[in-house]
């Protein structure tokens, strides 16, 4: 029995040796080769069309057509200049330096604006005067009259009076020789009349009010009366009275305090925006109490020539 079992065991062993192990390479078995994974061919991204490719240089936005710049505003809300208020101040009196005049010669009050024309402020004061139906006198500087002839034309066209304020506002004009002074005033008149051929320049105001008898005489020989002032709110003295609201309030208070029937009032339009603001309050106040006029532009009678000595 034992012999039979041993024979069977030997036979089994021999069979196993002939077949080999499937998992042991040393036993002579064959290692199964795994099936290769199927190759995955990457799908290429579709090439973008040329129309979809952004340009390296962005296309420029269309250039808008140039528009004309709006002119600076020349007036605010319309001014109401109605109503009358009685006043009882005494009539202006006195005389200016060098024989110049400082009063109108009647109960009417004359507003005068110096040193322009100014391309910003002069249109604003003209608008305000027009709204109130008031005429004034503009004492203009020669080279500014040349440079802003359109404003000289407007001043004359709207019924205001033009006054010669010298060519370049030299405070020492009276110290120059007669020929220089005459040429200075003649050139200023020439620029005024070039812009307003139908106007008459019947007045002269010395820069700074620095009149002398010589200046008054030469102006008279050129057909001009010399005008000083009765009321000076000193709107040019910002170092003392400030700017903005402080100056506006000062100008209003000074004019209301000092004006009289017959006053010639000095103010400035060139470079003085606070003065323009002040007159939006002053014009209704003044018109309610006084007749406001432009100085008449009739030429004075020239002096008779001196009788030659025998």
Q: What is the pLDDT of residues 127-170, one digit of tens each?
A: 999 999 999 999 999 999 999 999 999 999 999 999 999 999 99
Share of the chain above pLDDT 90, in %: 67
> Which residue(s) pair with 184 in the sheet?
none
In angstroms, the CA 234 to CA 135 distance is 22
Q: Nearest Cα to 131, choosing from 71, 73, 75, 72?
A: 75
CB atoms within 10 A of CB 282: 23
- Write down the pLDDT at residue 83: 83
Give the pair of three-digit tokens for residue 162. Answer: 């033009």
User: Region 73-94: what's the mean pLDDT?
Assistant: 81
Verify whether residue 268 is a known catalytic residue. yes
The three-state (H, E, C) secondary structure of the chain, written as one string: CHHHHHHHHHHHHHHHHHHCCCCCHHHCCCCCCCCCCCCCCCCCCCCCCHHHCCCCCCCCCCCCCCCCCCCCCCCCCCCCCCCCCCCCCCCCCCCCHHHCECECCCCCEEEEEECCCCCCHHHHHHHHHHHHCCCCEEEECHHHHHHCHHHHHHHHHCCCEEEECCCCCCCCHHHCCHHHHHHHHHHHHHHHHHHCCCCCEEEECCHHHCCCHHHHHHHHHCCCEEECCCECCCCCCHHHHCCCHHHHHHHHHHHHHHCCCCEEEEEECCCCHHHHHHHHHHHHHHHHHCCEECCCCCCCCCCCCCCCCC
Kindly report, residue by residue over 265-307, the tens digit of the pLDDT: 999 999 999 999 999 999 999 999 999 999 998 654 444 444 4
For 122, half-sphere exposure in the C-beta direction (CA atoms, 13 angstrom radius) is 27
Active-site residue (options: 165, 268, 269, 274): 268
Mean pLDDT (whole number) for 6-30? 43
State which fold the 97-293 domain adopts. TIM Barrel (3.20.20)
User: Which of 9-18, 20-29, 111-120, 122-131 is the least confident region?
Assistant: 20-29
Q: How far apart are CA 113 and CA 108, in angstroms?
A: 17
pLDDT of residue 38: 41
pLDDT of res. 70: 43
pLDDT at 122: 98
Non-local CB neighbours of 134 within 8 Å, separated by 6+ positions: 81, 111, 283, 287, 292
Closest residue by Cα to residue 235 from 254, 262, 209, 259: 254
Dump pLDDT digits (tens) for 176-232: 999 999 999 999 999 999 999 999 999 999 999 999 999 999 999 999 999 999 999
- Annotated catalytic, 258? no
Q: What is the pLDDT of residue 179?
A: 98
Task: Check if the beta carbon of residue 154 is closer than 8 Å to that of residue 116.
Answer: no
Percent of the chain with pLDDT over 70: 71
More confident call, 65 vs 196: 196
Residue 260 is predicted with a pLDDT of 97
Give the pLDDT band (50/70/90) at residue 13: low
Give me the residue label for tokens 């009032």.
Answer: 265
Residue with tokens 């290429």: 44
pLDDT bracket for residue 25 (50, 70, 90): very low
Distances (CA, A) of 208 to 124, 165, 211, 212, 228: 24, 10, 8, 12, 9
**One of 114, 118, 184, 269 is an active-site residue; which one?**
114
When pLDDT is cut at 50, 70 and 90, the band that residue 74 belongs to is very low
């Amino acid at each position: 029995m034992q012999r039979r079992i041993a024979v069977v065991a030997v036979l089994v062993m021999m069979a196993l040796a002939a077949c080999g192990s499937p998992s042991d390479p040393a036993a002579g078995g064959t290692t199964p080769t795994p099936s290769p994974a199927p190759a995955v061919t990457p799908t290429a991204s579709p090439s973008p069309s040329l129309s979809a490719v952004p340009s390296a240089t962005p296309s420029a936005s269309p250039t808008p057509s140039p528009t004309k710049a709006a002119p600076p505003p020349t007036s605010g809300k319309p001014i109401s200049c109605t109503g009358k208020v009685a006043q009882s101040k005494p009539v202006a009196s006195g005389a200016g330096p060098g024989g110049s005049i400082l009063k109108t010669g009647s109960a009417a009050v004359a507003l005068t604006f110096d040193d322009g024309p100014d391309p910003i402020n002069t249109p604003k004061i003209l608008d305000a005067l027009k709204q109130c139906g008031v005429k004034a006198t503009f004492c203009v500087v020669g080279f500014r009259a040349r440079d802003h002839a359109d404003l000289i034309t407007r001043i004359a066209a709207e019924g205001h009076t033009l006054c010669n304020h010298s060519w370049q506002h030299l405070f020492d004009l009276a110290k120059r020789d007669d020929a220089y002074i005459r040429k200075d005033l003649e050139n200023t008149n020439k620029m005024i009349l070039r812009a307003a051929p139908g106007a008459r320049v019947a007045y002269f105001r010395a820069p700074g009010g620095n009149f002398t008898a010589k200046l008054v005489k030469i102006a008279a020989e050129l057909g001009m009366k010399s005008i000083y002032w009765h009321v000076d709110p000193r709107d040019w003295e910002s170092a003392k009275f400030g700017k903005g609201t402080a100056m506006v309030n000062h100008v209003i208070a000074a004019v209301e305090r000092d004006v009289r029937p017959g006053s010639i009032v000095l103010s400035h339009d060139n470079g003085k925006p606070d003065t323009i603001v002040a007159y939006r309050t002053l014009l209704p106040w003044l018109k309610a109490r006084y007749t406001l006029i432009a100085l008449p532009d009739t030429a004075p009678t020239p002096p008779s020539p001196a009788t030659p000595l025998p």
